[in-house]
Structure 1
Amino acid sequence: MLRDVPLPMSARQVASIVEAQDAPIALWSGAVSSGKTIASLLAFLIRLTVAPDTGLIVIVGRTLQTIERNLLDPLQSTALFGPLAQHVHHTPGSTTAVILGRTVHLIGASDARAEGRIRGATIALAYVDEATLLPQTFWLMLLSRLRVGNQSRLLATTNPDGPYHWLYRDFILRNAEVGLTNWHFTLDDNPSMDPAVVTRLKAQYTGMWYRRFILGEWCLASGAVYEMFDAEKHVVDVMPAIKRWTAVGIDYGTVNAFSAVLVGHGDDDRLYVASEYRHDSRVAGRQLTDAEYSRNVRSWLANVRHPGQREIRGVQPQWIFVDPSAASFMNQLWSDQVPGIAPAVNDVLDGIRSVSVALGSGVLRFHRSCAGLLGELPTYAWDERAAERGEDKPVKANDHSADALRYALHSTAHEWRGLIRPKLEVAA
Structure 2
Amino acid sequence: MLRDVPLPLSPAQIRSIVESQDAPIALWSGAVSSGKTIGSLLAFLMRLAVAPDHGLIVIVGRTLQTIERNIIDPLQATHLFGPLAKHVVHTNGSTQAVILGRTVHLVGASDARAEGRIRGSTIALAYVDEATLVPHSFWMMLLSRLRVGSESRLLATTNPDGPFHWLRKDFILRGAEVGLRNWHFTLDDNPSLDPGFVARLKAQYVGLWYRRFILGEWCLASGAVYDMFDEHRHVVDLLPYMRRWTAVGIDYGTVNPFSAVLIGQGEDDHLYAVSEYRHDSKRALRQLTDAQYSLGVRQWLADVRRPGEQGSARGVRPEWIFVDPSAASFMNQLWTEHVPGIAPAVNDVLDGIRSVGVALGSGLLRIHRSCEGLLGELPGYAWDEKAAERGEDKPLKLDDHSADALRYALHSTAHEWRYLLDHQEVNRAAA
Asked whether the two chains share a fold, i.e. TM above 0.5, the reply is: yes
Structure 1 residues 90-146: Cα deviation after superposition (integer angstroms, max 9, x where no partner): 111111111111111111111111111111111111000000011111111111110
User: How many angstroms apart in 1 are the aligned matches of 2:373 and 2:34?
Assistant: 39
Amino acid of the structure 1 residue aligned with 2:106: L
User: How many angstroms apart in 2 are the aligned matches of 1:65 and 1:339?
Assistant: 31
Structure 1 residues 296-335: Cα deviation after superposition (integer angstroms, max 9, x where no partner): 1111111111112252111111111111111111111111
**CA RMSD, Structure 1 to Structure 2 (Å):** 1.3
User: What corresponds to 1:134 in structure 2?
Assistant: 134
User: What corresponds to 1:245 in structure 2?
Assistant: 245
- 1:32 match: secondary structure: coil
User: How many angstroms apart in 2 are the aligned matches of 1:416 and 1:239?
Assistant: 18
Q: Assess if the C-alpha contact under 8 Å between 1:322 and 1:341 holds in 2.
A: yes
User: What corresponds to 2:196 in structure 1?
Assistant: 196
User: What corresponds to 1:387 in structure 2?
Assistant: 388
Q: 1:426 to 1:370 in 2, by over 3 A?
A: farther
User: How many angstroms apart in 2 are the aligned matches of 1:113 and 1:422?
Assistant: 44
User: What corresponds to 2:65 in structure 1?
Assistant: 65
1:325 aligns with 2:326: yes
Structure-to-structure mapping, 1:26-425, within 5 angstroms: 26-309=26-309, 311-420=312-421, 421-422=424-425, 425=428
Q: Assess if the C-alpha contact under 8 Å between 2:242 and 2:308 holds in 1.
A: no
Amino acid of the structure 2 residue aligned with 1:375: G
- 1:311 match: secondary structure: coil
- 2:339 match: secondary structure: coil
TM-score (norm: length of structure 2): 0.98
User: How many angstroms apart in 1 are the aligned matches of 2:429 and 2:384?
Assistant: 31
- 1:142 match: secondary structure: helix
1:13 aligns with 2:16: no
- 1:143 match: secondary structure: helix
Query: What is the CA-CA distance between 1:422 and the residue it aligns to?
Result: 3.7
- 1:401 match: secondary structure: helix
Structure 1 residues 134-162: Cα deviation after superposition (integer angstroms, max 9, x where no partner): 11111111111100001110000000001
User: How many angstroms apart in 1 are the aligned matches of 2:136 and 2:196?
Assistant: 37
Query: What is the CA-CA distance between 1:427 and the residue it aligns to?
Result: 12
- 1:169 match: secondary structure: helix
Amino acid of the structure 2 residue aligned with 1:388: E
Query: What is the CA-CA distance between 1:188 and the residue it aligns to?
Result: 0.3
Unpaired runs of 5+ residues, structure 2, are none
- 1:312 match: secondary structure: coil
User: How many angstroms apart in 2 are the aligned matches of 1:248 and 1:159?
Assistant: 32
Q: Assess if the C-alpha contact under 8 Å between 1:203 and 1:423 holds in 2.
A: no
- How many residue pairs were aligned? 428
Indicate the larger mover: 415-424 or 74-83: 415-424
Query: What is the CA-CA distance between 1:216 and the residue it aligns to?
Result: 0.2
Amino acid of the structure 1 residue aligned with 2:306: H
User: How many angstroms apart in 2 are the aligned matches of 1:68 and 1:320?
Assistant: 31
| 4+ runs deviating over 4 angstroms | none
Structure 1 residues 61-86: Cα deviation after superposition (integer angstroms, max 9, x where no partner): 00111111111111111111111111
Q: Assess if the C-alpha contact under 8 Å between 2:248 and 2:261 holds in 1.
A: yes
- 1:381 match: secondary structure: coil
Q: Assess if the C-alpha contact under 8 Å between 1:361 and 1:423 holds in 2.
A: no
User: How many angstroms apart in 2 are the aligned matches of 1:42 and 1:342?
Assistant: 42
- 1:392 match: secondary structure: coil
Indicate the larger mover: 200-209 or 30-39: 200-209
User: How many angstroms apart in 1 are the aligned matches of 2:152 and 2:7?
Assistant: 29
- 2:250 match: secondary structure: strand
User: How many angstroms apart in 1 are the aligned matches of 2:255 and 2:352?
Assistant: 24
Query: What is the CA-CA distance between 1:240 and the residue it aligns to?
Result: 1.1
User: How many angstroms apart in 2 are the aligned matches of 1:423 and 1:211?
Assistant: 25
User: How many angstroms apart in 2 are the aligned matches of 1:52 and 1:289?
Assistant: 65
Q: Assess if the C-alpha contact under 8 Å between 1:56 and 1:104 holds in 2.
A: yes
TM-score (norm: length of structure 1): 0.98
User: How many angstroms apart in 2 are the aligned matches of 1:260 and 1:10?
Assistant: 49
- 2:221 match: secondary structure: coil
- 1:282 match: secondary structure: helix
- 2:247 match: secondary structure: strand
User: How many angstroms apart in 1 are the aligned matches of 2:158 and 2:249?
Assistant: 31
Unpaired runs of 5+ residues, structure 1, are none
User: How many angstroms apart in 2 are the aligned matches of 1:294 and 1:121?
Assistant: 54
